[in-house]
Amino acid sequence: MPAPSLAALTGFDQKLIVGVADMAVSNNPSVVLATYSLGSCLGITIYDPVTKVGGLLHAMLPDSSIDPAKAATQAAMFVDTGIPALFRAAYQLKADKHRVQICVLGGAQVMDASGFFSIGKRNLETLKRLLSQHGLSIRAEQTGGMVSRTVTLSVRTGEVKLKVSGVKEETIIWKK
Amino acid sequence: MEEIDEYIRKAKTLPPAPKILPQLMPLLKQTDVDSAKVVELISFDAGLTAKILTVCNSASQAGGQPVSNLHEALLRTGFAEVFRIVAKVVGEQTLGSAQTGYGLGKNELWEHSAVVAVAARIVATDRGLDPNVAFTAGLLHDVGKLVLTEALEGSYERLVEETEKNQQALVEAEKTVLGVDHAEVGGRLLSQWAFPKPLVDAVSWHHDPIKSTENAPLAACIYLANMIAAFTGHSFGHQAFAIRGRGEALQILGLQGDELPMYMIKTVDEFAKVSLLAAAA
């Protein structure tokens, strides 16, 4: 028999931190997926409320064509390779494509008239194009602006929370 | 200038001057570094010496015998690497505390600065600028925030208003609210601490590099590195993205703009290695 997890022993949820250009999926109800400091990067959460499977992707750049070798080893770096990788990982845990609730955070944008620094905007455009190609819609979205965001997804409840850097309070952005 | 000095004078807490860095920097230019001189400068600080040895040893675990003194560390890793370790240790001491006026938690300014340093070295190396000066300038580019954080306490709403309603960058909002900004204050502080002029200029103009008359390329390098830190998730605090996009910074460096994603990927990879080192120390 496996040893009981720390969460089971203490009753506390365990936070699983997803770094930049990384992703994670889980069906363990005591796991809270979290990613810090989403600036122009996108944080995408998916959650299947029936099988209670959650996933979180922290993608940095829109398009993998600039570095296919990188995309092959670290799909989560790019929106266009990270999204399919996130869904595939969630399917392994019996998530259903059309049941998952999708939330999107991040995509902050600097004050840029030149267009050279519009990474946040391009990340969002790529994501929305990709989701609509697959007939998927976004349940809740907190994107753009000039702030850095932290997001958490509770695998137990599917609740998605947002914290803005420099602001104390958390807000709930999605709850079934 | 008087107003800037007044802020520096009034600041309740200033970090101790990282005296060792400006003393070591001229040696970086020498092809044949006098290691006795380096050892003399560094060994004044026992804590620093111990950290250098720890980092050298954790980095060279695969490489046989551990180093036991500074001479060996210099021989094994070279002066440029020892300098970077010194800069990191000093940077962490200088920038590690929370800067609540900016909404920055403990270690957030330090993490941001370390990423800017790494990105600046990558850009500098690619564009034929001095990577060591770029690295050090990147590390210290926000040092002016340590001076202004106290004055900004309680000004959060005004800052947000200036950035959101009046479309000002954070650095411009500082100027509106306080009369000075963190870039010019930082440059002044580093000049008082006897850092070389190119580094002082780069820090002073890291939000508006074209205004630097003598060191625009280095200032543009720090500007771009600051952007890269933001785009790779290492910028924190109030209105972290209230930065003005300046296409001319790319022109100064002879870039088209499509190099940016590759610089970002390199920075993420390089910073992962650096962080592992820090964790091992």
pLDDT at B279: 47
Reported pTM: 0.91
User: B243 to chain A: nearest residue by CA?
Assistant: A110
Residue from A80, A21, A44, A40 nearest A173 by CA: A44
Instruction: For residue A31, give the CATH number of its domain.
Output: 3.30.1330.200
- With the C-alpha atoms ordered B134, B149, A162, A28, is the resulting torsion angle positive or negative? positive
pLDDT at A109: 95
- Pick from B240, B242, B264: which is nearest to A111 by CB? B242
B281 band by pLDDT with thresholds 50, 70 and 90: very low
pLDDT of B28 > 60? The answer is yes
B148 band by pLDDT with thresholds 50, 70 and 90: very high
CA distance A94 to chain B (A): 31
The answer to whether the Cβ–Cβ distance between B230 and A165 falls below 8 Å is no
CA distance B181 to chain A (A): 18
Structural domain that includes position A23: 14-174
Ranking A117-131, B42-56, B237-251, B257-271 by mean pLDDT, the lowest is B42-56
Token pair belonging to A129 = 């194009």
Token pair belonging to B279 = 């964790």
- How crowded is residue B274: how many other Cβ atoms within 10 Å of its Cβ? 15
- How crowded is residue A96: how many other Cβ atoms within 10 Å of its Cβ? 12
Tell me the mean pLDDT in the region B155-184.
Answer: 92
- How crowded is residue A145: how many other Cβ atoms within 10 Å of its Cβ? 18
In the 8-state DSSP scheme, what is residue A65?
G
The answer to whether the Cβ–Cβ distance between A146 and B265 falls below 8 Å is no
* ipTM of the modeled complex: 0.89
pLDDT of B30 > 90? The answer is no
Q: What percent of chain B has pLDDT over 90?
A: 58
A118 within a domain of the structure (yes/no): yes
* Number of domains chain B contains: 1
Structural domain that includes position B169: 2-280
* Residues in chain B closer than 8 A to A167 (CB atoms): 103
* Number of domains chain A contains: 1
pLDDT at A76: 98
The answer to whether the Cβ–Cβ distance between A111 and B103 falls below 8 Å is no
CA distance B281 to chain A (A): 21
pLDDT at B277: 54
* Residues in chain B closer than 8 A to A163 (CB atoms): none
pLDDT at B280: 42
pLDDT at B61: 54
Contacts A–B by Cβ distance under 8 A: 109
Going by DSSP bridges, is the β-strand pair A14-17/A53-59 parallel, antiparallel, or unpaired? unpaired
Interface test with B, best of A58, A63, A117, A122 (most B CBs within 10 A): A117
* Residues in chain B closer than 8 A to A37 (CB atoms): 233-236
A3 within a domain of the structure (yes/no): no
The answer to whether the Cβ–Cβ distance between A77 and B260 falls below 8 Å is no
A74 within a domain of the structure (yes/no): yes
* Residues in chain B closer than 8 A to A147 (CB atoms): 239-241
Instruction: For residue B8, give the CATH number of its domain.
Output: 1.10.3210.10
User: A146 to chain B: nearest residue by CA?
Assistant: B241
A29 within a domain of the structure (yes/no): yes
A129 within a domain of the structure (yes/no): yes
A5 within a domain of the structure (yes/no): no
Token pair belonging to B35 = 């290691």
Q: Is B54 exposed, middle or buried (0-12, 13-18, 19+ CB in 10 A)?
A: middle
* Residues in chain A closer than 8 A to B257 (CB atoms): 116
Tell me the mean pLDDT in the region B199-224.
Answer: 97
Distance between CA atoms of B122 and B225, rounded to whole angstroms? 9
pLDDT at B214: 96
User: A58 to chain B: nearest residue by CA?
Assistant: B233
- Pick from B239, B245, B257: which is nearest to A147 by CB? B239
Span B80-112, pLDDT tens digits? 888 988 988 888 888 999 999 998 999 999 999
pLDDT means per 10 residues, chain A with 176 residues, are: 58 87 96 94 98 98 96 97 98 96 96 92 97 96 93 97 88 88
